[in-house]
């Protein structure tokens, strides 16, 4: 007679999630045609790393991507692996990192495993883990910084705070929006640290430590990513003026005329819609000379965010907030705080936002969804299992198109969720 089945050790769960995420992100990657964005990223990486010139793509964002992609191009050549290595790596690491975050905040291995699984199989996250642009970096770096902050809170070892600052510097050098969830987490950890200090001197020392680790260190890391710019002879005053121009462009940018769908339906929407309606992003490559591997009708890469998971984010977050207010559940409060800190800066911006920006919110959105499902499963196991099975089935159908693969049931579901114009070659401008 055997005893009750024991759950797997956490390390086995993290390893399994990472293996699944990596397998999905590398499958048939070498045969997937390179997108215009992939090629532009490669040209920009060379231009910036070697000449200090942040063009031809997205000059208004920080430049860590250029330095990383330049290094991988030097190592692996200008094919898919040289261009996409960092997206694959950081997109894969985002999966166990999300699981670790949920486990650290809630103590639930089931919620942690489900959160990681939802990120691993999310078609939008999968798609951008297989592209050279850097939005998927923000699904890992802020989470890693917050994990280091939580370790500092638990152990009070300054090395963890320094690590949080180092990773924060890399995150902000990817896109500035990374500062919002990490800043919210840092504020909570700092407040707890100050309450724990009995003396004024101790509180002053803690403030200085946080300032050095989470302001000065990330600032230094950020400046280091502009070494090619300084190598051209520019100084700090010119860098400041350039950043003011970057901020103005970022505040108004809605894409480049003639390159995507008229009106960008579904691809550039108010970020408040991300968790209220199905959202998607479609890339298209026209067949052209010199671009092998593109079929006669062109190549579509539709990425539809899993609606059964994404549309559960707001109700799950509301429940987490209610649990914090009514039951003083600290883990639930953390989940609600991090989601809102990551999402609201996008949702409150009046201009439309590209849906690929939602990658920065994905881990913080799937975390409360997984937590809510794990809690509800204790009282309503059958409905929760049915939802989980349906969500995984939808993911299984939507992931192949995001990987550039064509399957009849998957194509049918994509056509049901995506605006017809997005899948019409005549609606797309020149790549």
CA distance 370 to 298: 38
Q: What are phi and psi of 281, to 5 degrees?
A: -145, 130
**Environment class of residue 29 by beta-carbon count within 10 Å: exposed (0-12), middle (13-18) or buried (19+)?**
middle
* The two three-digit tokens of residue 416, written as one number: 């049901």
CA distance 296 to 128: 24
Residue reference for tokens 């999310």: 122
What's the pLDDT at 217?
A: 98
What's the pLDDT at 339?
A: 98
Per-residue pLDDT of the chain (431 residues; tens, 9 = 90+): 455 667 778 889 999 999 999 999 999 998 888 998 999 999 999 999 999 999 988 899 999 999 999 999 999 999 999 999 999 999 999 999 999 999 999 999 999 999 999 999 999 999 999 999 999 999 999 999 999 999 999 999 999 999 999 999 999 999 999 999 999 999 999 999 999 888 899 999 999 999 999 999 999 999 999 999 998 889 999 999 999 999 998 888 766 544 455 555 567 778 899 999 999 999 888 776 556 667 777 788 999 999 999 999 999 999 999 999 998 899 999 999 999 999 999 999 888 888 999 999 999 999 999 999 999 999 999 999 999 999 999 999 999 999 988 888 999 999 999 988 888 777 665 54
| Beta strands, E only, 53-208 | none
Residue 360 DSSP class: G
CB 125 within 8 A of CB 175: no
* The two three-digit tokens of residue 130, written as one number: 């297989």
Answer positive or negative: Cα dihedral of 397, 401, 407, 413. positive
Q: What is the pTM (predicted TM-score) of this model?
A: 0.94
* The two three-digit tokens of residue 17, written as one number: 């999630």
* The two three-digit tokens of residue 89, written as one number: 């790596």
CA distance 294 to 32: 9
DSSP 50-75: HH----SS-TTS-SHHHHHHHHHHHH
CB 161 within 8 A of CB 121: no
Strand partners, 280: 304
Q: What are phi and psi of 402, to 5 degrees?
A: -70, -15
Pairing of β 280-285 and β 299-304:
antiparallel
CA distance 56 to 321: 43
Q: Where are the domains of the chain?
A: 108-133+263-431, 140-232
* The two three-digit tokens of residue 357, written as one number: 């920006």
Sequence-distant (6+) residues with CB within 8 A of 349 are 271
Which residue from 98, 140, 121, 133 is spatially nearest to 303, judged by alpha carbons?
121
* The two three-digit tokens of residue 38, written as one number: 């992939």
CA distance 417 to 283: 15
Which residue from 387, 362, 375 is spatially nearest to 322, judged by alpha carbons?
375
CB 364 within 8 A of CB 342: yes
What's the pLDDT at 262?
A: 52
Cα-Cα-Cα-Cα torsion 340, 342, 348, 353, nearest 10 degrees, comes to: -140
Q: Is 54 helix (H, G, I), strand (E, B) or coil?
A: coil
CA distance 13 to 214: 31
What's the pLDDT at 431?
A: 44
Strand partners, 269: 353
Q: What is the CA radius of gyration of the chain?
A: 22
Distance of CA 279 to CAs 212, 249, 262, 323, Å?
40, 24, 17, 29
Residue 372: how many CB atoms within 10 A of its CB? 24
Distance of CA 86 to CAs 45, 93, 403, Å?
13, 10, 17
């Amino acid at each position: 007679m055997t005893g009750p089945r024991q759950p797997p050790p956490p390390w086995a769960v993290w390893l399994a999630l990472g293996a699944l995420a990596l397998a999905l992100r590398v499958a048939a990657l070498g045969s997937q045609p390179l997108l215009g964005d992939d090629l532009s990223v490669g040209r920009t990486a060379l231009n910036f790393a070697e000449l200090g010139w942040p063009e031809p793509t997205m000059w208004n964002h920080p430049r860590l991507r250029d330095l990383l992609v330049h290094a991988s191009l030097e190592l692996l050549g200008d094919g898919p692996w040289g261009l996409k290595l960092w997206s694959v790596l950081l997109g894969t690491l985002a999966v166990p990192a999300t699981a670790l975050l949920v486990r650290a905040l809630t103590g639930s291995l089931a919620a942690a495993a489900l959160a990681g699984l939802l990120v691993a199989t999310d078609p939008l996250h999968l798609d951008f883990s297989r592209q050279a642009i850097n939005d998927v970096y923000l699904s890992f770096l802020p989470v890693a910084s917050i994990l280091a902050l939580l370790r500092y809170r638990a152990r009070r070892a300054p090395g963890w705070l320094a690590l949080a600052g180092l990773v924060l510097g890399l995150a902000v050098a990817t896109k500035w929006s990374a500062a919002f969830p990490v800043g919210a987490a840092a504020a909570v950890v700092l407040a707890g640290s100050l309450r724990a200090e009995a003396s004024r001197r101790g509180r002053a020392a803690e403030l200085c430590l946080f300032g050095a680790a989470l302001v000065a260190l990330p600032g230094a890391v950020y400046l280091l990513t502009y070494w090619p710019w300084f190598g051209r002879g520019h100084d700090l005053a010119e860098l400041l003026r350039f950043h003011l121009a970057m901020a103005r462009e970022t505040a108004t940018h809605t894409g480049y005329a003639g390159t995507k769908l008229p009106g960008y339906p579904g691809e550039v929407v108010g970020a408040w819609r991300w968790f209220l309606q199905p959202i998607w992003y479609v890339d298209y490559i026209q067949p052209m000379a010199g671009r092998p591997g593109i079929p006669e009708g062109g190549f579509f890469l539709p990425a539809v965010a899993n609606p059964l998971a994404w549309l559960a984010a707001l109700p799950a977050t509301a429940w987490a907030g209610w649990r914090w207010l009514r039951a003083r559940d600290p883990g639930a409060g953390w989940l609600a705080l991090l989601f809102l800190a990551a999402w609201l800066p996008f949702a409150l911006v009046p201009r439309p936002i590209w849906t690929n920006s939602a990658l920065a919110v994905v881990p913080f959105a799937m975390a409360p969804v997984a937590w809510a499902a794990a809690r509800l499963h204790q009282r309503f196991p059958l409905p929760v299992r049915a939802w989980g099975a349906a969500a995984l089935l939808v993911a299984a159908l939507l992931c192949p198109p995001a990987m550039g693969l064509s399957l009849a049931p998957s194509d049918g579901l994509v056509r049901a969720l995506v605006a017809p114009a997005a899948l019409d070659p005549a609606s797309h401008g020149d790549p």
